[in-house]
Amino acid sequence: MEFKTILLEKKEKIYILTINRPEVLNALNHTVLTEIEEAVNKIKNDSDTLGLVVTGAGEKSFVAGADISEFKGKTPEEARKQSEWGQAIFKKIEELPFPSIAAINGFALGGGLELAMSCTFRYASPNAKVGQPEVKLGLIPGYAGTQRLTRLIGHSKAMEICITGRMVSAEEALKIGIIDRIVENNLVEEAIKSILAIQKNSPIAVYYCKKAIMEGKEMPFEKACALESNLFGLCFATEDAKEGVNAFLEKREAKFKGK
């Protein structure tokens, strides 16, 4: 599968998806979104995958936002459909059965931050800047930015960032919870290392834990607890659970197979 605007490689069973339009700070246009969707479908269907790292080409930008030139002349109905399409693509990333990390190597603004927030974790270089500046264009975030940001950092802070449209430094983003780690050097390599460390645990348990948290946050507490109980029970049907319990009792390191 050949792409024009992204790069896709696999390293140590982990896919690295790079938005490759550095000349326009990796802005998201129709082709980029189409190719991200194609790549995510490919990654999801590869059973020999431990995780995904998403990053941007060059040293200045992860994704600086949408390609605004494509907004000119859109009708309200076309804009609504564009929003729904972008949301659906990013939801596919969020729902991957393994961890994903956005390696934010510069600007992550508008659709760029929305893409990053669809990943399980966000690591950033010290020069990273994040934000939802759509109000400065007379718009609002359209790829679930208002919703994911609120769920990530709370109502008040999300409101302040979205209605001011200001850029947030890596240090502040770490403090308020938009990003999870600042990485001085070798950002992508650090993300790969983290995924490999996570997947030394049972991949099935990692998936069920991710599923319980992601789906449960949208449910009333009692229903979310019921979901947790069901997934807890399903763990006991796996070879990984038997191996984990036996390894603990036998005082040895577990060797999980993801079965």
Residue 115: inside a domain, yes or no? yes
Instruction: Mark the ranges of the chain whose per-residue pLDDT is less than 70.
Output: 1
Diameter over CA atoms, the chain: 67
Looking at the structure, tell me whether residues 194 and 219 fall in a common domain. Answer: no
The number of distinct structural domains making up the chain is 2
Which CATH number fits the domain that encloses residue 211?
1.10.12.10
Looking at the structure, tell me whether residues 155 and 216 fall in a common domain. Answer: no
CA distance linking residue 167 with residue 137, whole number of Å = 14
Q: Which of 37, 134, 171, 239 is catalytic?
A: 134
Q: What pLDDT does 95 receive?
A: 95
Looking at the structure, tell me whether residues 124 and 226 fall in a common domain. Answer: no
238 lies in which domain range? Answer: 203-249
Q: What pLDDT does 1 receive?
A: 67
Q: Which of 37, 84, 95, 114 is catalytic?
A: 114
Nearest to 96 by CA among 127, 63, 120, 79: 120
Q: Please, are residues 24 and 5 in contact by the beta-carbon 8 Å criterion? A: no
Looking at the structure, tell me whether residues 123 and 33 fall in a common domain. Answer: yes
Looking at the structure, tell me whether residues 60 and 158 fall in a common domain. Answer: yes
Which residue do the tokens 């999870």 mark? 180
Looking at the structure, tell me whether residues 210 and 185 fall in a common domain. Answer: no
Q: What pLDDT does 203 receive?
A: 92
User: Is 134 among the residues known to form the active site?
Assistant: yes
